[in-house]
Structure 1
Amino acid sequence: MSTIRDVAKLANVSVATVSRVINANGYVNENTKQKVEEAIKQLNYRPNDVARSLFNGRSKMIALFVPDIQNPFFPELARAVEDMANSRGYTFILCNTDNNNQKEIDYLQALLQKSIDGFIFVSSTIKAEQIENINVPIVAMDRKISPELVSVTVDNRDGARQAVEYLQSIGCKRIGHICGPENVSSSRNRLQGYLDVVKKEDWLTSDFVQVGDHSIQGGLVAAMELLQKNPDIDGIFAANDLMAVGVLKAAEQLGIRVPEQLSVIGFDNTEPGKVTTPQLTTINQPIYDIGKRAAELLIQQIETPDSGIESVIYNVELIVRGSTKPLQS
């Protein structure tokens, strides 16, 4: 295997000159640069990543932490981050944390030892004090970690309001909500959006809100409890599509017709809701754009640390499909 010294010898230049060409760092006249590039090509030389990172202080690696890679929302985010990272010459590392704080810390420590350039976190378990002394850029995505940390999210509260107001507009009189875990900021905001719309209704009790775990099974269990405690519920807003699919399954088991007797709305606009029968009405968030923007902001912080980056909040929109009744004329 060829070394940088072999390249320098063939091009008749110093090792330092070869390093400047490889890392695009410092001035090298055009003729010398061409000689070095021809020698690299002739020898099929591949620069050592560790040596390169020692030279320029960067590994050209970024990592994305997600809580559950089996949830179809996160692979869509990951694809966008990976595409953007690759287009900018960065290696992408995906870490599935299982909502486990110790696993997050273990990944952090291991990657910092490998001179990682930055992190994107989707996390509800990492604590702000656990990352405040990390000396590489961090971007929070989908969920906020602390007000001081740059984040890329959507207007979850407004999306929830859109969902519940639409259920009211099609004639639903008693609307239940299946929220996500309390420690997830997006879940709290979606619950608040639901309450913004129904908080003055005389029928509202704590029985109209059940907690799920963002899975189909969690949605099914929560929906069974909702519908058995409150058989007059005629609309359910679930905090993500997987739980909304669980609602459809619960309705089927209970002999409740969707949408004739029960209208159902999810959140995310992921693939599972597009293949159910009926297809799922949902709140669309621009998943790919979120991932792409988070990667852009992270790389911007890496390459221009003093650029004054601000958090981003995307708008969401209602996508109407077959799980809700038609609008009343």
Structure 2
Amino acid sequence: MVSIKDVAKQAGVSVATVSRVLNNKGYVSESARKKVEQSIQELNYKPNEVARSLFKKQSKTIGLIVPDIMNPFFPELARAVEDIAAELGYSVILCNTDENKEKEQHYLDVLLQKYVDGIIVSSNTLSAEQIHKLHIPIVSIDREISQGIPTIVVENKKGAQTATRFLKDKECKKIAHIRGPLGVTNADERCEGYKEVVSGEPWFRESYIVNGYFDMQSSIEATNKLLRLHPEIDGIFAANDTMAIGAIKSAHQLGRKIPEDIAIIGFDGIALSKATVPELTTIVQPIYELGKKATTMLVHLIEKKPVEKTFYELEVRLVERHST
């Protein structure tokens, strides 16, 4: 492997001069600079980024911590983060926590050891105190950790209200909800939005709400139990598209036609929602824009550039397809 010493030797200059050229810091004569640049090209020299990050205490790298990479929402989000980070000159390290607090802390430790310049995190276990102890810029995405921490989310409650009212407008008489995990901010907000629309209805009961844990298999099992217990249900609002797809499968297994017997609506707007049979009606959140805003904000914080504001709640919209 070619070293900085090899470049210096071929260019006939000191290692310090090569270093100044590489870092674009300090005075270097034009003739010396040209010799160094020519030697770098001829030798195909690649700077040791690990060593440079240890020296500078920065790496032009950011971390992205997500709770479940199997949920299609997060790969789409990660794509946006990676695209924008690359445009801004940064690399991304992706960490999947499986909603495990210990695994999340392990990844935080690893990212700090690698001198990442900042972290984008989607978490329901991190506290504001833990965030502040990291001493690097952090942006929370999809889930709000605490006021005062830079955050990008969407209108979860409003979107849930829109979805539930839409089912009522479709003349659904008994509407159930497949919620996400208890204690996860966006799941709680979507459940609250649903309840605000239906809690005053004479038919509403708490057993119309089941937990699908933001997971397809859990949703299939929960929907099976729900429809066996309450066969009168003719509308389901699922708190994410993955669970809505699970509900569609469960309804088919029970011989229920969609949307004739039961209408189903999701939340997210993932690409897979257009590939189901029937295609899924959903509350679309701007996934790419979420990743773009979070990454841009984080890089501005890293580079100490002005940030217009540190909290964004992006709008969602309903897209009607064949499942309703």
TM-score band (shorter)? Answer: over 0.9
Partner of 1:79: 79
Aligned to 2:112: 112
Query: How many Å separate the matches in 2 of 1:8 and 1:116?
Result: 29
Partner of 2:161: 161
Q: CA deviation at 1:29?
A: 5.5
Q: Do the aligned residues in 2 keep the contact of 1:23 with 1:52 (CA within 8 Å)?
A: no
The CA distance in 2 between the partners of 1:27 and 1:239, in whole Å, is 59
Q: For structure 2, list consecutive stretches of 5 or more residues without a partner in the other structure.
A: none
TM-score normalised to structure 2 length: 0.93
The C-alpha deviation readout for 1:90-116, integer Å capped at 9, x for no partner, is 221111111111011111112211212
| Corresponding position of 2:92 | 92
Distance 1:38 1:320, change over 3 A: same
* Percent identity of equivalent pairs: 50
Contact 1:281–1:320 (Cα < 8 Å) also in 2: yes
1:258 counterpart letter in structure 2: I
Number of aligned residues: 324
What one-letter code is carried by the residue in structure 1 that aligns with 2:196?
Answer: D
CA contact (8 A) 1:301 1:309 kept: no
Shift of 1:127: 2.8
Q: In structure 1, what is the equivalent of residue 314 of structure 2?
A: 314
SS in structure 2 at match of 1:132? helix
- Aligned match of 2:181: 181
Instruction: Identify the residue that residue 16 of structure 2 maps to in structure 1.
Output: 16
Q: Give a deviation string over 1:28-62, Cα, whole Å, max 9, x none.
A: 56554333222211222111112322443311121
AA aligned opposite 1:225:
K
Within 5 Å, which residues of 2 pair with 1:281-292? 281-292=281-292
| TM alignment of 1:169-318, pairs within 5 A | 169-304=169-304, 307=307, 309-318=309-318
Calculate the aligned-residue CA RMSD, in Å: 1.9
The answer on whether the counterparts of 1:23 and 1:56 sit within 8 Å (CA) in structure 2 is no
In 1, distance between residues paired with 2:29 and 2:154? 48
Structure 1 residues 149 and 255, CA gap change in structure 2 (3 angstroms): same
Comparing 201-210 and 296-305, the one that deviates more:
296-305
Of the structure 1 ranges 54-63 and 27-36, higher mean CA displacement relative to structure 2 is found in 27-36
Q: How many Å separate the matches in 2 of 1:275 and 1:306?
A: 42
Unaligned runs of 5+ in 1: 325-329
Change (3 A) 1:26 1:195: farther
* Structure 2 match to 1:122: 122
| Alpha carbons of structure 1 residues 106 and 302: separation in structure 2 relative to 1, 3 Å | same
Tell me, what secondary structure is at the counterpart of 1:95? strand
- Aligned partner of 1:150 in structure 2 is 150
Alignment-mate amino acid for residue 36 of structure 2: V
Is 1:135 matched up with 2:135?
A: yes
1:153, distance to aligned residue in structure 2 (A): 1.2
Q: Which segments of structure 1 move beyond 6 Å, counting only runs of 4 or more?
A: none
Counterpart contact for 1:245–1:272, Cα < 8 Å: no
Deviation at residue 154 of structure 1 after TM alignment: 0.9
Q: Contact between 1:177 and 1:208, CA under 8 Å: does it hold in 2?
A: yes
